[in-house]
Each structure stands twice: as C-alpha cells, then as structure tokens.
A and B are shown apart, each in its own frame.
Chain A
Amino acid sequence: MVTADTSPAAPAPKAPQTNKLGLTLADYKGSPSTLCDGCGHDAITSQLIKAFWELNVEPHQVAKLSGIGCSSKTPAYFLSRSHGFNSVHGRMPSVATGAYLANHKMIYVGVSGDGDTASIGLGQFCHMIRRNIPIVYVCEDNGVYGLTKGQFSATADQGSKLKDGTANHLNAIDLCGLAIELGCSFVGRSFAGDPKQLVALLKAAISHRGTAILDVISPCVTFNNHEGSSKSYKKVKETDTPLHELGYVPFYEQITVDYQEGEVRTVELHDGSHLQLKKLGQDYDPTDRNAAERAISQAHKEGHLLTGLLYINEESQNFGQVLDMVDTPLSRLKSDELRPPKAALDEIMAALM
C-alpha cells in the first residue's frame, strides 16, 4: 500500500483513495461507454463499479457475462480486470451455469436487458432461477429493445406508448413476480435514478449465494423517455414507491446506527454482512413469499412501482450444493483426479467380456 507523505513542508499530490486491496475506483472501471448520453444503463454500470470497489472484491475473482443488447454491452464498461463474456441473445444464463460448474468459487455477475431476459431468454432465465445458480443477475429494464431501435419488449406496461404513439395492449411480464413464483432466493427491484438504493441492493446481491435477480428500471433516453411512456425518468420518479430505506453493512463492520424498536429489519446474508431495511410507511417482511406476491400485484393495480428488496430466502440450497461437487473448482482438478486409473478400465472391460 502507498502511504502519502504528510509532512507540512512538502505537500504531496493527493493520492487517489484506495480500498482495502489498495485498488482505486479506476481499477474497477472498464472501457469508455459507447451508449447514448444519459442512458440508464450507464448509471447502473457506475453503481456496479462502486459496489465491487467498496466491497473490496478481487477483480480476478469476478466473471461478468451478458446476452445481446445495449444493456448487454455494459460488461465491457466495468471491471476491466475481470474476465468478460458477451454471449448470444437471451442465453447468458446457460453460459453462466456452465462457467459456475467449472469454477464455483468465482463471483458471477450477469447483465441483461428486458428483451434479452423477458422474451428470447425467458426460458433460460426461469431455469437458472430454478437451479439457484449463484449469480448477480441484473436486468436493465427499459421496456424496449434499445439496440434494435425501440420496439416494445415484454416488460412494457399495458397502455405505454412508443414515440410514434403506438400503444402496447399486452400485459407486462413482471420479472420480479415471476422470479418469486419460481422460488428465486433473492429478488429486488430498483431504479437507475436511485443510486443509493441500487448500490445497497447490488452489494447485498453480491453477498448472496444463490440467484439474485435485480430488475432495475433503466430509462432508454433515445427510444422510451417521452410523454406516454411508463418507463421514462419522469414517470418512474413519480411512480417509484420504495418499500424501505436500505443500508448495507459489510461483514467486517459492526452495526452501529441505532434505530427505534420496530423501525428497522435486519437481514443477515451468507457472508455475514447485513442489509438494514428501514421502515417507510407500511412494515414489509421480505422473507414472506406470499406477502411479496401480494404486494407486487397490489402495486400493479395502483400504478406504483415497488422498489427495494422484495424477497429473500437465505436458507435455500444452491446448485453446487445439490450437485455435491468437490471443493476444488472442477477447472482446477489435476489429470490424476480427472482420469480414473488403468485398473478401472480393466475392471470395466472384464465385465463386458
């Protein structure tokens, strides 16, 4: 670690702030974004950078994956020291599953879009959740296909209008509702315009050891930010209804802030860190699956966008536990661990004679 010389005689240039690994925020950045100025996706990228930096995650222990879309381009814009994988449209969950099986010790972060997830990739999305693959899965949800120039996606709200006035008549697929229904162990929703909430959810998701779904409303400034769109910055600011105020406390820190009895719920995550949920209005219990489903459908009726930690189950078994694999990542096994001895082949051959 570099320590700055603090003698008053020679004031040193201010060294950039480092985390516990001695890395600066810049070390967690990627190549410059090529998305439109003001795109919600870039705001999410910034919070991903911040979350990993603040959590002191070793970049080489992270793998970033995505599908196809503007949103799916973003893994190139953060964590340049992590391996990245921009796969095919809608199929990132399968690639992440395979990578996880090869090395279950890495942290996987998947970035997708609403088209990538809710249309072409809906099947893989569901099966990834069903298997409880440990991954932070961020759906950057703008209600349209940005990269193919603004067609409706399956998360577009009923009645929402395209720029040319075309209205969507179909029901929206609520990815959070679906994920909870499928037994997902961590489900949150946030908004690209609420960095404080988003970074807390991201950190909690990184600390979780199962599939963590984050549906992040991320306005497309080019194709879906107009009057009549239900996913414009303006509209989301109006409808955003946070369930609670979130505070993330890493495992190495004591919970210090004192709240009034009943004012706060604390959820302990796998790695010993905590998520504090400060009550706003109604009390909300994110461990109650039925209540979560009710709250989501109620919010739809009332035209609210519920954000925050919608559901969590820290007891669930992830896929690695189900498969009962050895502790060493499969990709690191030596050839004598992978290839049975000659005696094994002799025994098998004898039985076939």
Chain B
Amino acid sequence: MNTLAANSKETIESKGQKINEFSIHVATVNGSGSQSSNTVLMRSIFQMGIPVSGKNLFPSNIMGLPTWFTIRVNKNGYVARTEHVDILVAMNPQTAVEDVKSLPKGAVCISPVELNLDKVRQDVIHYLVPFSQLAVEATENIKLRKLLTNIIYVGVVAHILEIDQAEIDKAIAQQFEGKEKAITLNVNAAMQGRKWAQENIKKIDPFKVERLDKTKGKIIIDGNGAAALGCMFAGVSVVTWYPITPSSSLCEQLIDYLEQYRKDKKTEKATYAVVQAEDELAAVGMALGAGWAGARSMTSTSGPGISLMAEFAGFGYFTEIPTVIFDVQRVGPSTGLPTRTSQADLMATYLLSHGDTKHPVLLPGSVGECFDFALEAFNLAERLQQPVFVLTDLDLGMNNWMSDPFTYPTTPMDRGKVLSKEELEKLGGFSRYKDVDGDGIPYRTIPGTEHPKAAYFTRGSGHNEDALYSERSSDYVNLMDRLNKKTETARKIMPKPVIDKVSGAKVGIIAFGSSDFAVLESRDQLKDAKTPTSYLRLRSLPISQEIVDFVNSHDRVFVVEQNRDAQLQKLIIMDYPELAPKLVPVTHYTGMPIDAQFITDSILKKEQEKK
C-alpha cells in the first residue's frame, strides 16, 4: 500500500532525537479561541513539508467545557488518531491534573507555572511558562489576553520543536486573512512566546521538526468542505438543510462557495437556492420536491435528522425521485454523543424507511473522495432516479486532512433518462414506470414540459407502469421487482472497492470510510508482526460482487468498523450468506476515531486464539 513513507527517504535520527514523529495534545477550554492557534501550529508544520493531521475533540457545548486538539506529526504519513501523547500543552486548569497523569513517562508537559504540574508528575519533562504575565505584556486589552495566550503557547512550542518563525507568520497570515490588525497582534504574541522560551527554557526533550518535502502541492481541508466543493461542482441548485453537528459546516461552507462562484455574471443573481428548513422532514421534502421538478437537489444532516427523514426516504425510493442526502455520522442512538464520531448509521441509511427499501450509499474514505463522491452522487441519483446517500462521519467531516488537490470533473453531468417535448412527440407518449431498457430504470418527464402527454402522477401509494393508482398484487410485485433490478444496476455502477491483495496473505481486512487511515497504519504494524494482510476498502452499498472473491481467497477476513453491532459484517452476510464463516468483526465504538493500535491488537489477539 502506498503510504507516504513508501516513496521517500527516511530522515536520519541521531542522539536519540525524535524527528518528525510525535503527537501534540493541546488541552484548552471550549470557546477560548484556541482553535485558530492550533490550526496555525498544524499549518506551520505542514508548510515545512512534514505530514501532519489535526483532530479537534470537542464537547457539545459553546463555552466552558474542556476540549482537546491533537496534532500528529508523522514522517511516514500516518494520519489516523493515536492514543500516544508525546507533548502536552496543559492550558485547562479543570483537566490539567488528569491530563498530566495520563502522559507516558518521558513525555513533555508545557503548562502555566501557577498550575504547579511539576508537583503532580516527576517523570515527565516540565516546561513551566508564565503565560498570564506574558499575556499582560502582550496587550493592554484585558479581553484580548485570553485569546493571545493561545498564540503565545504556539510560540513556545515553535521554539521547542524548532518550527521556523517564518512558517508561523505565514500560517497566521492565512488564518486571519485580510485582518491586518489581528495578524500583527498574533505574530507579535507568537514571537513573544518564542523569545521567552529561547531565554528561559533549557531543552532536554528529544522532539523536533526538520524540513521534508512531503506536503508540497498538497492541500489541507476538512471532509465537509471537500463535500461542499463536490456539491458545487456537481451543479447543485437546491440545497435544503437543518443545522446539526457535525453536518452543519457542510452546508455552511457550501453557502460561502455558492455565493462566491454561483452568481450569474451579468445579473449577479443566484443560480441556486438555499433554504434553512424548519426541520429535517421539511428539508428532505423540499429536496425531493426540487428533484422531482428537475433540479439537482440535496440535504445534509446527521443521525437524528436521518431518523426524521425515514418516511420521505421510502417515498423517494418508491416514487423514484433523485436527490442526494449527506449523513455526517455522530454517535447515537438518540442524541448520543453529538460531538463524537461513529459509523453506526450504515444500516439505518441503507435500509431507511418502512417496507422493503434499499438505497444506494456512497462511502468516501478520504477528503478527496468526499469531493469525488459528492460529485458522483448527483449523477447516480439522476441516473438511478432515487435518493442517494453519502455517508461520512465527524472525524472525516470536521477534522482537517492533507490531500492532493481535487481534480476537476472531466465527464459531463449525467442527467439521467429524461424525455423532452420532442422525444415525447416522436414516441407519442410514455409510461412513467415501465422498464424499457432492462436496467430497471424508467423514463421521466420534468414538470413544465410543454406537451399534453408529458404529465404523470407521482404517488406514494401503489401504482402501475402508467403511474395510475393500483392495488393489484401483480402491479405491486412488478414494481417491487423492478426496483430491485435497479438495486442490481446500482451494484454494478457504484464505485468499486479498492483492493490490495497481498500474495501469501492469509488474513484479509475489510473496512470503509474514515477507518481507512487507521487500517493503513495497522497493516504496516501487522506486517512487522509477521501477519501480512490484504485489504478491501468498500466504497459503496449495495455491496459489490468483488467482495466474494476477496473473502474466498483468504482464510479469515476481519471486518473493521466503528459501530457496536458489526453492521457492515451483517450487511455482507445479508447479500452473501455463504461468506459468513470467514468474517470476523472488529468493532470500535468509543466515540473516538479508531486508531491503528486497536486494530492491530484486536487482529493479533484473534489470530492468537485461532492457534
């Protein structure tokens, strides 16, 4: 598998130094403004060419509760979460003692001097910093002091890790783009932290950064932003949504992009409509109404919203209306852990609604795929004439990830089987729900088409091929069988799994979505532990036929997923029951993103049990 390590030279480590391989844990208070400082820290390392990832572990709260930001610096390009903390910046008095207690021996702890954390642990390296005093020196404005403290610690960390000041300045300029006063204030405060550290800290820890060339030409973006861009370049024109964490920032970023890039050049008028609906029921109702009337429409939500959309989802399936529904998953059931990540909506979205219902689901595994699959979702929805779900999660959606720049679509939009006035004239009419081409997908007309034979009646009750009301068993069975045929068509045209078959490997791994980052790292760990693995990353539902051969060519296949009930494993068995004996679930459902060590340990333990 191509991790970044595979195509670059190792950095030389001397004198027990740990270069470009460590993780920083910043503990702060929600609402204290630390987010921008942490982004600056992360970006400055990225700008030095070093692979880096950032995760915000935040509470469901606006101000006052503890929040943590982790930055993982890794020369090998591993970007998944890791349990391991090398450097703690303990800015939150509420959690400081607990935070420092959980550090491994030899880790670094940077903390405000008045917290006396050096009394709590003697076996970690302490750098005690007079942050309050530095903040007082930085500004006379009392309100700004708290904010500037955050950038002061960035300066301190920059000194300790040897991050170039020029990169810090550049990252600040990007963060506060256009706000000259804020830029100057932050640059000065960062410099102040660095200067204090230069004069007062005697570095005794092994961690430092060194320039690499592994991030050149790469972008940093969150999955929601990437999906938003995909939607815009897909040509979405009706966007309806209801705010919910962690999906809100998808539509919010989309609105910003649309305002900038989707106004008519001459008239300055919008080539789109965005509605903040009264609830998710209305949001999906509007999206379906718009899809029915011929627009590219979408909505975006998370678990509780998905539950509310259930009735309409089945309606859309049964009446064959295109729309795109994003589910940025969080932890359920119910309100659950609203700011934690999960993959537990897999079954809920695939089978959403009463009656026999099945929806195409796209499963992006990177920000690049968030973009590509958002684009593709609109094509698939109009091609298949049904709601298409795009399933991401909080980890992928709200955290920042490195990526190659996105590629502009090279294929034209697929607007599906739509009959024009001229075609109707030639055909002398049409049957809305007739399978003319043998792929289960019928033809439709768009309301407003200027032809007396264009109209048809859309209804969620039983209907025949001519869209007339029908309670006849044969019409119902016909319809349900044809809809199933559409599912089989979807199985063929949806994105195929990405397969890395390693010759001689007896063990296979199947995973999807954001688990990919941890699986890639885990496979390297497993290889080191003499357990080579093959890997199939699923990218859509219904499950592609390719899975059969993959499972059959291994002794055991671990299905790695971030939910309790092994939902993917069950779905595989639902379609391919013969594979059941070989499938072993590895489930992670703590609300934290899955990490490589967990996968490795789980697989090795189960392999051990086998022996």
Contact = CB atoms under 8 A, between A and B. Distances in A.
Nearest to B315: A88
A154 to B, nearest CB: 19
Interface string B218-232: 111100000001001
Contacts of B315: 87-88
Interface in A57-75: 58-61, 63, 65, 75
A50 interface: no
Contacts of B192: none
19 contacts: A63-B447, A83-B447, A83-B457, A88-B312, A97-B286, A98-B286, A98-B291, A98-B295, A101-B273, A101-B275, A102-B294, A102-B295, A126-B278, A324-B270, A325-B269, A337-B264, A353-B217, A353-B219, A353-B405
A241 interface: no
A103 interface: yes
Interface string B226-245: 00010011111110100000
Contact of B290 (A59, A98, A123, A332): A98
Interface of B: 217-221, 229, 232-238, 240, 257, 261-262, 264, 267, 269-275, 277-279, 281-297, 311-312, 315, 405-406, 408-409, 412-413, 445-452, 454-461, 468-469
Interface stretch (A158-166, A227-235, A340-348): A340-348
Contacts of B270: 323-326
B354 to A, nearest CB: 12
Contacts of B469: 76
Contact of B461 (A31, A80, A86, A97): A86
A155 to B, nearest CB: 21
Contact of B296 (A103, A338, A342): A338
A60 B297 contact: no
Given A102-B295, A127-B278, A330-B272, 18 more contacts: A60-B449, A81-B452, A82-B455, A85-B459, A91-B281, A91-B285, A98-B291, A101-B290, A101-B295, A103-B293, A325-B270, A330-B273, A331-B293, A333-B271, A335-B413, A337-B271, A338-B296, A352-B221
Contacts of B287: 98
B239 to A, nearest CB: 9
Given A98-B297, A102-B289, A325-B269, A127 B282 contact: yes
Contact of A94 (B217, B277, B412): B277
A125 B205 CA distance: 65
A331 B448 contact: yes
Interface of A: 31, 58-61, 63, 65, 75-76, 80-88, 91, 93-103, 105-106, 123-124, 126-127, 131, 323-327, 329-333, 335, 337-340, 342, 344-346, 348-349, 352-353
B458 A338 contact: no
Given A87-B460, A332-B294, A333-B271, A81 B448 contact: no
A346 B217 CA distance: 12
Contacts of B296: 338
B238 A335 contact: no
B285 A80 contact: no
A349 B455 contact: no
A88 B311 contact: yes
A99 B289 contact: yes
Contact of B448 (A80, A106, A335, A349): A106
Nearest to B236: A338
Contacts of B291: 98, 102
B235 A339 contact: yes
B272 to A, nearest CB: 7
B233 A345 contact: yes
A340 B451 CA distance: 32
Contact of A330 (B238, B278, B289): B238
Nearest to B261: A340
Contacts of B262: 338, 340
Contacts of B289: 65, 85, 94-102
